[in-house]
Structure 1
Amino acid sequence: MDKVALTGANGFLGWHVRAALHEQGTTFAAFSVGDAFDRESAIHAVDGATRLIHIAGVNRGTDDEVREGNVRFAQQVAETISGASKPPSTIVFANSIQSTNGSVYGAAKAAAATIVRKAAEVAGAEFEDVQLPNLFGEHGRPFYNAVTATFCHMLAQGDRPVVQQDNELTLLHAQDAADLLTGYATSEVAGSLEVRETVTGLLRRLEGMASLYAHGEIPDVSSRFDRDLFNTYRSHTFPRQAPVRLTRHADSRGSFFEIVRSHGGCGQSSFSTTAPGISRGDHYHRRKIERFTVLAGTATIALRRLFTDEVHEFHVTGAEPVAVDMPTMWAHNIINTGPGVLYTSFWSNEIFSPESPDTIAETVRK
């Protein structure tokens, strides 16, 4: 089995890379750089790996901290490569498109790339310099990672963001960046994955999504970008805005309630019956939007974010219908906790494809 060595594994992009590696069935070995750098443990992580992905960097701080931090990290990675008896055959650097703009950060990233490139050449490894634009994605840190995370966080809290400077952004979803860094996607398609949008346009899109989702409605996710942007926004609403309350209408004829209102894009609805005590699910999705709605019976829906231990549970019943939307990269399942048959509706934003199922096995409870 392939092994990937990784720096920055606990950061925003590192988390997304780990999720991508998990789907690919690739193990990873993380090692620290900076003050926590330990040469022996780093060499152990890198030795025998097929790929080394260097993500860790410094993008906040004084000019000296940014300059010296990025160079120091790269030097430690280079030292690790030279110390490995069997260095990786491919060494990847998560660079930035700012590396050529003359800024302190850009110059620091360019210098780091040169250091890692030279170490790769000495080791006889292929070097990939992946220059990434502005990244957005699930669980970004507001007021730190990117403006998208800040907007999503503020809108989810009911605040109204204000655009201070309206520039055009080149945006790339973090899962697409992860595919590029892991080699799952090639550099030839990198440009087709990027989207250009102004800061004002980005906020307008997110405001529209937030307005609809506040009522449990699914916005138009027909484009890849809008789907990824909506999944990013949803990550900032969970679990505070879950579950989605549905209005049940009942009279002498029976009852009626709406399950989903979708404003655009593909979709597929499914239905299942589940015997008492039986569980369904124990998987996650990287990009797919999925909604569970219990029609009759009693169930517990459980969710756990990848690489964490905390499990969120929702106890649901058909008598008081709600919809629970599965956040991307959260393992989830549903178990029949009642004495009778459980009737459940499942909706997703795409038609299931056996060739590309986007359904990755992962148990909710370890």
Structure 2
Amino acid sequence: MKILLTGARGFLGWHTRLRLHALTDHEVVPVGRDEWHDLPLLVADSDAVIHIAGVNRAETDDEVEGGNVALAEDLAAAIRGAGHPLRIVYANSIQAGNGTPYGRGKERAAEILRDATQTGVGHLVDVLLPNIFGEHGRPQYNSFVATFVDATVRGETPSINDNQVGLLHVQDAAQALLDGLEISDAQLSPEPETHGVQEVWDLLQEFHANYVPVGEIPDLSTKFRIDLFNTYRAALFPEHYPIRLTPHSDPRGSFVETVRCRGGEGQTSFSTTVPGITRGEHYHLHKIERFAVISGSATMELRKMFSDEVLTFPATGDEPVAIDMPVGWVHNITNTGDEVLLTQFWSHELFRPDAPDTFPEPVRLD
């Protein structure tokens, strides 16, 4: 299936594109501001549209409300002109219809798209998303979680009005949009987890207290803790890496503590790699994975999916360091020395052959 993805370079758009790449064979056509003028031709050449492009915040209320309506009108015109039935999956919000400029705009956008697909030219799935959070969210824009993470990293303390909020990790939101490609229902409402605003802040402070100074992994005994920790550590990358490990030496040799974890599953493995060989070349959707060189010399390379920039971290067993691979970043490790490389790998969960959360992709595209 050929899928047009609007808002592909935004927060939810990037995660949806990542999930489509990892879990499906669909051809994805990313559309942002630069491609918007080609929308009629692109829609006509597609089988389905996942419509994420929208306006969350702007200088005026009219820009928020009118922006969402205008985007829907453009898409509706392209749907009517496509000449064949299209499935439209709309990333709507539970705030639709709540009387705010954003809520009015999202509600009206859904009506416009519904009208465009009710004349025999397709099917609309209206996905009502709650507050979403996750890796690479924009502070002061995507969610209060992104704002809290940014404040934590900067060492600032925001004003907190504690209340209960339904939260959905962005990869779960992306899965709901993928589900919309298959279901016959007209509406889909993924279920959030309810957490306190103060609870979120306190968890971030718990993570930050030991992760930045010594690289200690916090308690990861619940899905929410894992999702929030992944969100937090994405904001630290790459400025706070590599993690410096401390050797303890005496006449017998040396001892290096590579991983400390306060709770949850965990699996440790090691590999030997001959000179010139590269391991890895994959990415994950949720797995927390640490690479630590024990002996020899290596480089670790990482690239954020759908970007070209490659980050390189040298590593040696003489001055041991570790890298925790961010979700959605392709990574590898190459033996750059003349001797066998010994590397320790740790992940927060046991390896499950039926669900390895490992998706092949080269770091370097040239």
The TM tier, using the shorter chain, reads over 0.9
Q: Are the counterparts in 2 of residues 47 and 87 from structure 1 also a CA contact under 8 Å?
A: no
Deviation at residue 174 of structure 1 after TM alignment? 0.7
Deviation digits for residues 63-110 of structure 1 (CA, Å, limit 9, x no counterpart): 21122111111110101111113342x211111100132222111111
Deviation at residue 335 of structure 1 after TM alignment? 0.1
Q: Percent identity?
A: 50
Who is 2:153 aligned against? 156
Deviation at residue 3 of structure 1 after TM alignment? 1.6
Deviation at residue 36 of structure 1 after TM alignment? 6.8
Who is 1:96 aligned against? 93
Deviation at residue 189 of structure 1 after TM alignment? 8.4
Determine the C-alpha separation between the residues in 2 that align with 1:273 and 1:189: 47
Who is 1:142 aligned against? 139
Matches within 5 A, 1:217-228: 217-228=216-227
Who is 1:346 aligned against? 345
Q: Are the counterparts in 2 of residues 54 and 92 from structure 1 also a CA contact under 8 Å?
A: yes
Deviation digits for residues 247-271 of structure 1 (CA, Å, limit 9, x no counterpart): 1011211110111011111111111
Matches within 5 A, 1:168-247: 168-183=164-179, 190-191=190-191, 194-214=192-212, 215-247=214-246
Query: What SS does the aligned partner of 2:96 have?
Result: helix
Who is 1:64 aligned against? 62
Matching residue's letter, 1:364 = V
Matches within 5 A, 1:1-366: 2-23=1-22, 24-32=24-32, 37-38=36-37, 41-61=38-58, 62-88=60-86, 90-163=87-160, 165-183=161-179, 190-191=190-191, 194-214=192-212, 215-366=214-365
TM-score scaled by length of structure 2: 0.94
Q: Are the counterparts in 1 of residues 176 and 188 from structure 2 also a CA contact under 8 Å?
A: no
Seen in structure 2, the aligned counterparts of structure 1 residues 124 and 83 have a Cα distance that, compared at 3 Å, is closer
Cα root mean square deviation, aligned = 1.8
Q: Are the counterparts in 2 of residues 286 and 329 from structure 1 also a CA contact under 8 Å?
A: yes
Deviation digits for residues 34-56 of structure 1 (CA, Å, limit 9, x no counterpart): x9742xx2133223433211111
Q: Are the counterparts in 2 of residues 17 and 175 from structure 1 also a CA contact under 8 Å?
A: yes
Deviation at residue 336 of structure 1 after TM alignment? 0.1
Moved more, 42-51 or 203-212: 42-51
Matching residue's letter, 1:114 = E
Q: Are the counterparts in 2 of residues 155 and 161 from structure 1 also a CA contact under 8 Å?
A: no
TM-score scaled by length of structure 1: 0.94
Determine the C-alpha separation between the residues in 1 that align with 2:56 and 2:190: 23
Runs of 4+ in 1 over 6 A off after TM superposition: 184-189
- For structure 1, list consecutive stretches of 5 or more residues without a partner in the other structure: none
Query: What SS does the aligned partner of 2:261 have?
Result: coil
Determine the C-alpha separation between the residues in 2 that align with 1:123 and 1:158: 55
Q: Are the counterparts in 1 of residues 16 and 175 from structure 2 also a CA contact under 8 Å?
A: yes
Give aligned pairs, total: 358
Deviation at residue 218 of structure 1 after TM alignment? 0.6
Deviation at residue 157 of structure 1 after TM alignment? 2.1
- For structure 2, list consecutive stretches of 5 or more residues without a partner in the other structure: none
Matching residue's letter, 2:157 = R
Query: What SS does the aligned partner of 2:200 have?
Result: helix
